[in-house]
A and B are shown apart, each in its own frame.
Chain A
């Protein structure tokens, strides 16, 4: 099932609004100092190399991949913490659903401790919590997973900097130039507004787009609260392929 690029056809992605995204160099987040390019980016109109991307089938997933409460269970026990469902829709800038795309997520445990050898925070590991999961969006672009709400954690930036509770997200879309990594925050968390990584984004409404909303309607009574987090990927100008595939 392959499409054909029409010579001269306009199939490029919308230009990325790099004033909406965080710039490379944000001194409040100290690690950017030596990791931010100083030269201007070279602008490329997308070629086939950028307008295609890897695809991942639903069949490549295991049943527990989207259940972080149970996917690292060592003795049949479930992870400790506040049980939540996180779900949402992956859309493009044209508000069209992005089906069949891989969404990956990772996080600290309820105490803010990551399962990583470089992590030295004194809060303990949860023996039944790994902290990774993945899902493929359905035909309407929806993903969901079950997890425990991560704790805030301190990090060596300022002398007393703490990250708000957050879940990292990685999304593919259907083009390599749509590739995105971001972080999800929780509605009402006062720590969002003191974080230098959040503050790398200049526009408050852009930050607001990273805040998941408590969703009582999708809460499972006596089990898990629900948060909704929709993700928007870059949209395409128009149909570049003869056969109209998803994303066009």
Chain B
């Protein structure tokens, strides 16, 4: 069946600018009393099913300096591999989990999410994709939001079969998406994100 061609053009992107926190994390920006909490600051309740983890990352620019004014959003499946949204592909989503988080980077360029480890989600071919978290990064100097994924270094077998990772021709660049586990009471997965240069993270056009 044929489709009508698009009749409108997408609104063009612009940078989020250095004061993105005013609008998207106002309490972090010390604008108190407008919103009770910053949107996306809490993803879990005590009823959320799944393994508690911390996802953390540090963002660097092409000169090696940390990016201390970025804003990061994540979108991930729940422990069963379902996206908690009306448009989610499965029906058994865990209602106690938002799937979406938003955090600023701090003075050291570090962002941190308290979340759960996602379950595997079916890919377009029906085969499971390796567990992953989608990231979207905006900041001063970024004209259009950067999209990437975070994978887990203790999912070696699944990562080896993941069709997105396998699209990356240079195997060394696949490693830019794989967070390393640091053990603790709550396991922490750490990913360095490089916007530019020799260690540049793989970003997607999706």
Contact = CB atoms under 8 A, between A and B. Distances in A.
Which of A7, A54, A119, A182 is packed against the most chain B CB atoms within 10 Å? A54
Contacts of A72: 31, 33-34
Contact of A55 (B6, B85, B138, B145): B85
A13 to B, nearest CB: 8
A32 B62 CA distance: 10
B85 A38 contact: no
A150 B85 CA distance: 35
B126 interface: yes
B136 A179 contact: yes
Contacts, number: 290
Contacts of A214: none
Contact of B140 (A14, A31, A45, A210): A31
A43 to B, nearest CB: 5
Interface stretch (B20-28, B44-52, B180-188): B20-28
Contacts of A198: 14
Contact of B1 (A31, A231, A238): A238
Given A24-B142, A35-B67, A177 B19 contact: no
A87 interface: no
A23 interface: yes
A95 B206 contact: no
Contacts of B172: none
Contact of B141 (A31, A65, A207): A31
A35 B141 contact: yes
Given A53-B75, A55-B86, A115-B29, A181 B138 contact: yes
A114 B22 contact: yes
Contacts of A42: 167-168, 202-205
Chain A interface bracket (under 10, 10 to 19, 20 to 34, 35 or more): 35 or more
A52 B85 contact: yes
A241 B87 contact: yes
Interface in A1-56: 1-5, 7, 13-18, 20-24, 26, 29-39, 41-56
A2 B89 contact: yes
A95 to B, nearest CB: 5
Contacts of B15: 29, 31, 181, 183, 197, 200
Nearest to B15: A197
A119 B19 contact: yes
A209 interface: yes
Interface string A182-205: 110000000000000110110001
B206 A46 contact: yes
A141 interface: no
A170 B29 CA distance: 17
A47 B121 contact: yes
A231 B7 contact: no
B160 interface: no
B195 A35 contact: yes
A118 B28 CA distance: 13
B149 to A, nearest CB: 8
A34 B195 contact: yes
Interface in A61-106: 62, 64-65, 71-72, 91-95, 102, 104-106
A234 interface: yes
A130 B93 CA distance: 37
B197 interface: yes
Contacts of A53: 75, 85, 87, 100
Contacts of B99: 54
A47 B75 CA distance: 13
10 contacts: A17-B10, A20-B10, A37-B146, A42-B205, A44-B204, A104-B23, A118-B19, A174-B87, A183-B15, A209-B9
Given A36-B196, A168-B16, A179-B73, 17 more contacts: A2-B90, A16-B10, A16-B205, A24-B142, A31-B15, A43-B206, A50-B147, A52-B83, A54-B99, A56-B39, A93-B7, A115-B22, A118-B18, A131-B31, A209-B11, A231-B11, A232-B8
